[in-house]
Chains A and B, each alone.
Chain A
Amino acid sequence: MQVLQGLAILLTLQSAGEALSRLLHLPYPGPVIGMVLLLVALRWPAVQQRVQTVASFLLSHLSLLFVPVGVGVITQLGLVAEHGLQLLLVIVASTWIGLAVTALVLHRLMRHAPPAGGSE
């Protein structure tokens, strides 16, 4: 029951996000606005209890959800044949740059941080 209620909350907030995005012509995708709305709604214990189970379930199987889109690479074989090597280079290099910069910046910043409120 809690899972169903949780899913209902997630879908309602996603719909609200989509509606706000269209009505106010916001540049943010509906689910992102839904996420911010949920962050506000989580102040209420009733929402917390209902969302916890379904959120943990969805997020622990997040990688499965990428498979259908990932298989879509077969629809881009023309592009891959033409620019495959450049694309591979761009994707690999930019991912490494992103990972390295983020990790080094946060690592450096946290070394000078007061320990209180850090990792649990």
Chain B
Amino acid sequence: MTDFVQLWVYLSSTPLFGLNATLVVYVLALAFYTRMQQAPWANPVLWSMVVLGAGLWATGTAYPTYFAGAQFIHFLLGPAVVALAWPLWERRAALRAHWGRFTVAAVVGGTAAAGSAVGLAWALGLPTEVVLSLAPKSVTAPVAMGIADKVGGIASLAAVFAVLTGLVGALSGKALFALLGIGQDATGWMARGFALGTAAHGIGSARALQVHPDAGAWAALALGLQVVVASLLIPLVAGWF
């Protein structure tokens, strides 16, 4: 028994533990999601977070200990943001034909998401640094952290808000678009995918890609555009206050 305890103490303190646990839990969550026929509530990111969070809490493992291993996965977010140039490049013909429309949708939609978050949070009396951390929440987590840092928010909080925002989009997008009367034709998939990429970044885009390949491509394009738009506008607007 003491041998086992010693082994656990050793294993749980090496970076291997966080990396291994993240990958195994995610692979299982993805298998579960596939078995549930990709029902929105079975979202693999949501359940990985729940299982890993509960596991850390139950075993009394500190988050930094876990992150020492999980950071190897987290690190890939940086190159993944750079890689967003690829879907933009692939859709360059559409981008060239409709760049004005895409820009309007990205700026108006992004402003609506960030503006309503900041306005509501302020009206509800949340602390200032929390309000500022909410501003970049519809941008993909690593960029949200960078923006929050520059406008006086808390980077780790902004990342959590971004992930939760992505989950809300992935979980409820389908029902919301149906309610708005946005169909499942070519234009409908474009609007749905683009909206998920704009307001629910990578997690919403992943969901769009699973639902329809066209929606996924438009989501990736919107995600890339929103990264540029939000990094341009949020620090600029925050500078006025």
Instruction: Tally chain A residues at the interface, Cβ within 8 Å.
Output: 76
Contacts A42-B86, A52-B86 given; does A107 touch B22 at CB 8 Å: no
Chain A residues numbered 39-69 whose CB sits less than 8 Å from any CB in chain B: 39, 42, 48, 51-52, 54-56, 58-60, 62-69
Is the CB of A1 closer than 8 A to any CB of chain B?
Answer: no
Contact call B161/A104, Cβ cutoff below 8 A? no
Contact string, A86-119, partner B, CB cutoff 8 A, digits 1/0? 1101111111111111111111011101101111
Secondary structure at the A interface, as helix, strand, loop or mixed, is helix
The smallest beta-carbon distance between A96 and chain B, in angstroms, is 6
Interface on chain B toward A: helix, strand, loop, or mixed SS?
helix
- Cβ A70 vs Cβ B143 within 8 A: no
Q: Are B85 and A38 in contact, CB atoms less than 8 angstroms apart?
A: yes
Within 8 A of A (CB), among B60-102: 63, 66-67, 70-71, 73-74, 76-89, 91, 93-94, 96-98, 101-102
| Residue of chain B at shortest CB distance from A63 | B206
Within 8 Å by CB of A79, from B81, B108, B157, lies B157
Instruction: Tell me whether B116 and A73 are in contact (CB under 8 A).
Output: no
Q: Which of A7, A35, A91, A103 touches B177 (beta carbons < 8 Å)?
A: A103
State the interface size on chain B (CB cutoff 8 A).
Answer: 115
Report yes or no: A91 in contact with B202, Cβ–Cβ below 8 A. Answer: no
Most chain-B CB neighbours within 10 Å: which of A42, A98, A104?
A98
Q: Which of B81, B102, B114, B165 contacts A106 (CB under 8 A)?
A: B102
In the bound complex, how far is the Cα of B31 from the Cα of A89, in angstroms?
31
- Asked if B85 and A104 sit within 8 Å, CB to CB, the answer is no
Q: A99 touching B195 by the CB < 8 A rule?
A: yes
Say yes or no: A90 contacts B134, CB within 8 Å.
yes
B109 at the interface (CB under 8 A from A): yes
Task: Pick from B116, B146, B160, B199: contact of A70, CB below 8 A.
Answer: B160
Q: Which residues of A contact B211 (CB under 8 A)?
A: none
A71 within 8 A of partner (CB): yes
A120 to B217, CA, bound (A): 10
Given A90-B120, A102-B199, A71 and B63 contact (CB-CB distance below 8 Å): yes
Q: In the complex the two chains form, is A118's CB within 8 Å of B186's CB? A: yes
Q: Which residues of B contact A118 (CB under 8 A)?
A: 94, 97-98, 186, 190
A89 cross-chain contacts in B, Cβ below 8 A: 120, 124
**Cβ B112 vs Cβ A64 within 8 A:** no
Contact of B84 among A35, A83, A87, A113 (CB under 8 A): A35
In the complex, the answer to whether B141 meets A69 with C-beta atoms within 8 Å is yes
Cross-chain pairs A/B with CB under 8 angstroms, 24 sampled: A14-B79, A29-B146, A29-B147, A38-B85, A39-B88, A39-B89, A56-B86, A64-B26, A67-B22, A71-B48, A71-B63, A87-B126, A91-B134, A94-B117, A95-B168, A102-B110, A102-B199, A102-B222, A105-B109, A106-B101, A106-B102, A106-B194, A110-B190, A117-B94
Q: A67-B49, A68-B74 are in contact. List 5 more A-B contacts (CB 8 A).
A: A27-B231, A31-B142, A67-B26, A105-B105, A117-B96
